[in-house]
């Protein structure tokens, strides 16, 4: 496909997304209907589509209208691409620019358009990010770097770099965690590589690894990952020490891949069914990697920022405090209750910790740390609470 045909395809897919389709579903549907597209075409179209979803408001501002075509015109204007060479109407290229499109002059960019956020999120994001608001909202509209976690049980970081290089995957040591690698080239080859298949590395953001590094774990301790999901953090914890790691999720189906991932990594993780944690005895550490807005990771999952509503944020906050209240009794005296989000919103972070400290006088705070999204990793928050 020509660069112009890829833009036309992205515009068509974006129309589906703007009409309510999930981005992944819209991309898969288009690929099924378009067998002529090769893997390079699909990758380029996917990049256009996700760039446009991340930059939806600023591209619509530059393109003059929030349609697939308008977003692609905005993408070209933002990137300085030659519109008249791409919008030619020849072959599978998009139709030539109309006179109105060509002469459209975008005025000064309103704040919410520049920030690529829905109007209602401007105030909470500004309050949470302060002087960093412009920089962080700009970063959230860019592509995220790809990070791997080296399985410390299987290899050193240097050995993993060498093994990946043999398979054409170029990496370098990342800064936030001693187990983290940043992928510089060959990211699309990772999942099929022998290094990945044999459990040498896992895909995990570097800040997520740094959060796991901060979870207190004594040798032989019982550690519960209460909101384990796919198990990214449980696996990192199990690889780190000889602690006994347990995994639980309110939706156990989300842990379905965990046994295979644990086997690949050569670690043991015991799954607990919903309601079975209290019977399993107390734990020295309970990690609550709670459901959240995902605002720290909107580079990777940009649809989240357009889907989030004030009501959803209110229910997420209620779920977060309920999880803290139900897990506090599971922690052994002297043990740690660890709270983590991939959010940058204060309402989901410090405000939740202040509130739990007020509700539970037997709990004190040992550590609070926020990671902002940037070249080193996504946005995360962790608080370590000690139970007396």
Ligand X SMILES: C[S@@+](CC[C@H](N)C(=O)[O-])C[C@H]1O[C@@H](n2cnc3c(N)ncnc32)[C@H](O)[C@@H]1O
Task: State yes or no: residue 232 binds ligand X (CB under 6 A).
Answer: yes
Cα 230 vs. chain centroid, distance in angstroms? 13
**Ramachandran angles phi, psi of 382, nearest 5°:** -140, 140
Q: Which residues of 331-349 are buried (b: 16+ CB within 10 A; e: fewer)?
A: beeebbbbbbbbbbbbbbb
Query: Which residues in the 254-283 window bind ligand X by CB under 6 A?
Result: 254
Shortest Cβ 319–ligand X spacing (Å): 5
Q: Is 249 annotated as a binding residue?
A: yes
SS3 214: coil
Decide whether 77 or 248 has the Cβ nearer to ligand X: 248
Binding range to ligand X, per CB under 6 A, among 10-18, 48-56, 223-231, 380-388: 223-231
Binding range to ligand X, per CB under 6 A, among 30-38, 88-96, 170-178, 246-254: 246-254
Binding range to ligand X, per CB under 6 A, among 17-25, 108-116, 247-255, 371-379: 247-255
Decide whether 84 or 326 has the Cβ nearer to ligand X: 326
Task: State yes or no: residue 233 binds ligand X (CB under 6 A).
Answer: yes
Q: Could you say which of 81, 173, 301, 319 contacts ligand X (CB under 6 A)?
A: 319
Q: At what angle do helices 56-63 and 68-79 cross, to 10 degrees?
A: 90
State the DSSP code for 255. Answer: G
Q: Which residues of 143-171 are buried (b: 16+ CB within 10 A; e: fewer)?
A: ebbbbbbbbeebbebeebbebbeeeebeb
- Structure tokens belonging to residue 24: 């992944």
Decide whether 77 or 233 has the Cβ nearer to ligand X: 233
Q: Could you say which of 71, 86, 176, 228 contacts ligand X (CB under 6 A)?
A: 228
Shortest Cβ 46–ligand X spacing (Å): 23
Decide whether 163 or 234 has the Cβ nearer to ligand X: 234
Q: Could you say which of 291, 304, 351, 374 contacts ligand X (CB under 6 A)?
A: 291
SS3 191: helix
Give the strand pairing for 222-225 and 283-289: parallel
Query: Would you tell me how many other CB atoms lie within 10 Å of the CB of residue 99?
Result: 7
Task: State yes or no: residue 141 binds ligand X (CB under 6 A).
Answer: no
Q: Could you say which of 51, 113, 289, 346 contacts ligand X (CB under 6 A)?
A: 289
Dihedral sign from CA coordinates of 244, 248, 252, 258? negative
Task: State yes or no: residue 216 binds ligand X (CB under 6 A).
Answer: no
Shortest Cβ 267–ligand X spacing (Å): 15
- CA-only gyration radius of the chain, Å: 23
Decide whether 315 or 364 has the Cβ nearer to ligand X: 315
Decide whether 159 or 250 has the Cβ nearer to ligand X: 250
Q: Is 292 a catalytic residue?
A: no
Q: Is 289 annotated as a binding residue?
A: yes
Task: State yes or no: residue 252 binds ligand X (CB under 6 A).
Answer: no
> How far is 23 from 329, CA to CA, in rounded Å?
40
Task: State yes or no: residue 229 binds ligand X (CB under 6 A).
Answer: yes
- Dihedral Cα 330, 332, 335, 341, nearest 10 deg: 0
Give the Å distances, CA to CA, from 143 to 65, 138, 177, 249, 298.
23, 11, 21, 30, 10
14 sits in which H/E element: helix 3-18
User: Cα 322–216–325 angle (5° rounding)?
Assistant: 10
Shortest Cβ 367–ligand X spacing (Å): 19
Binding range to ligand X, per CB under 6 A, among 36-44, 112-120, 125-133, 226-234: 226-234
From the candidates 76, 288, 292, 342, which is the catalytic residue?
342
Closest C-alpha to 53, from 34, 66, 36: 66
SS3 316: helix
Task: State yes or no: residue 318 binds ligand X (CB under 6 A).
Answer: no
Task: State yes or no: residue 250 binds ligand X (CB under 6 A).
Answer: yes
Task: State yes or no: residue 92 binds ligand X (CB under 6 A).
Answer: no
> How far is 89 from 69, CA to CA, in rounded Å?
13
Q: Are the C-beta atoms of 38 and 18 separated by less than 8 Å?
A: no
Query: How many chain residues bind ligand X (CB under 6 A)?
Result: 16
Catalytic residues: 342
Q: Which residues are annotated as a binding site for S-adenosyl-L-methionine?
A: 249, 289
Residues near ligand X (CB under 6 A) are 226-233, 249-251, 254, 289, 291, 319, 323
């Amino acid at each position: 496909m020509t660069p112009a045909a890829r833009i036309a395809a992205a515009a068509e897919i974006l129309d589906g997304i703007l009409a309510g389709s999930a981005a992944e579903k819209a991309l898969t549907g288009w690929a099924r209907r378009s067998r002529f597209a090769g893997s390079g075409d699909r990758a380029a179209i996917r990049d256009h589509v996700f760039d446009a979803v991340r930059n939806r408001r600023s591209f619509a501002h530059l393109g003059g209208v929030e349609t697939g075509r308008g977003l692609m015109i905005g993408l070209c204007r933002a990137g300085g691409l030659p519109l008249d060479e791409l919008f030619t109407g020849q072959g599978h290229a998009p139709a030539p620019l109309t006179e109105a499109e060509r002469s459209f002059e975008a005025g000064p960019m309103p704040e919410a358009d520049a920030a690529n956020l829905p109007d209602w999120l401007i105030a909470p994001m500004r309050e949470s990010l302060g002087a960093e608001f412009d920089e962080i909202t700009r970063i959230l509209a860019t592509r995220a770097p790809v990070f791997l976690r080296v399985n410390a049980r299987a290899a050193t970081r240097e050995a993993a770099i060498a093994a990946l290089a043999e398979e054409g995957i170029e990496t370098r040591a990342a800064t936030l965690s001693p187990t983290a690698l940043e992928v510089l080239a060959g990211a699309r080859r990772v999942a099929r590589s022998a290094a990945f298949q044999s459990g040498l590395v896992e895909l995990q953001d570097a800040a997520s690894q740094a959060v796991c590094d901060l979870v207190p774990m004594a040798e032989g301790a019982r550690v519960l990952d209460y909101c384990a999901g796919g198990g990214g953090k449980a696996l990192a914890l199990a690889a780190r020490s000889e602690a006994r790691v347990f995994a639980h999720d309110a939706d156990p189906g989300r842990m379905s891949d965990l046994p295979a991932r644990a086997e690949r990594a050569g670690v043991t993780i015991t799954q607990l069914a919903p309601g079975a944690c209290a019977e399993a005895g107390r734990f020295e550490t309970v990690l609550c990697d709670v459901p959240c807005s995902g605002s720290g990771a909107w580079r990777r999952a940009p649809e989240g920022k357009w889907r989030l509503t004030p009501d959803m944020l209110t229910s997420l906050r209620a779920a977060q405090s309920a999880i803290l209240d139900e897990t506090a009794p599971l922690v052994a005296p002297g043990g740690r209750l660890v709270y983590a989000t991939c959010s940058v919103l204060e309402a989901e972070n410090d405000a939740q910790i202040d509130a739990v400290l007020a509700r539970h006088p037997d709990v004190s705070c040992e550590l609070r740390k926020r990671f902002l999204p940037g070249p080193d990793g996504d946005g995360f928050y962790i608080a370590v609470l000690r139970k007396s």
